[in-house]
Chain A
């Protein structure tokens, strides 16, 4: 059974960089049939796709966040990571990582999510 687990600081100061890691167990992050995504959900609001990563290292970002977001692969550790720079209160959200079936783009496994609060 595949499992994904987000980890990282729960509190980040404004203008600093938010850094999260998604650890994948029960399956390989190097599978060609899937890609990996970060999604966030501000308190009381809907889901927002942040960006995606394929095992080749290719990345794709939400245009509204592209200038501040970096997603990268740690193949040897079966992990992928998210960095969001110059954060503001608007970046406060629950951050989820997920696996996406490449052929038809559905998210079949999700992490439990981690709340990141931006506050001084």
Chain B
């Protein structure tokens, strides 16, 4: 069970948009619309940002959006703000009561 593949880092200037990819296989990301994304600030617990590929929990800004094509899911952050600087992890269903995480991406706001 290998981790989903994410870029180690991405960056953008305030106001710009960045996209973080998450590549898996047809047995996880590509096989189900059960991909979620988490934001983690240093020393804090992860926070749910996107679930079911495209849905946002209450309270998450609409600057955050999710999508999927084939075996790759993506998280886009539009109108970058300083507080968006954090680590981001994707997560996918793989089997009953079992999920797998991506390796994580550090988003830097320049």
Give me the interface of A with B, judged by CB distance under 8 Å. Answer: 35, 37, 39, 46-49, 52, 54, 58, 60, 62-64, 96, 100-102, 104-108, 110-113
Asked whether A49 lies within 8 Å of B48 as measured between CB atoms, the reply is no
Q: Which residues of chain B come closer than 8 Å to A64, judged between CB atoms?
A: 1
* Total contacts A-B at CB 8 Å: 70
Chain B interface bracket (under 10, 10 to 19, 20 to 34, 35 or more): 20 to 34
Asked whether A100 lies within 8 Å of B45 as measured between CB atoms, the reply is no
Give me the interface of B with A, judged by CB distance under 8 Å. Answer: 1, 3, 33-34, 36, 38, 44-48, 51-52, 57, 89, 91, 93, 95-104
Asked whether A60 lies within 8 Å of B104 as measured between CB atoms, the reply is no
Asked whether B48 lies within 8 Å of A112 as measured between CB atoms, the reply is no
**B4 to A, closest residue via Cβ:** A46
Known: A104-B51, A106-B91, A107-B38. A63 touches B1 (CB 8 A): yes
Asked whether A106 lies within 8 Å of B104 as measured between CB atoms, the reply is no
Q: How far is the CA of A49 from the CA of B36 in the complex (A)?
A: 14
Asked whether A107 lies within 8 Å of B104 as measured between CB atoms, the reply is no
Asked whether A52 lies within 8 Å of B97 as measured between CB atoms, the reply is yes
**B45 to A, closest residue via Cβ:** A110
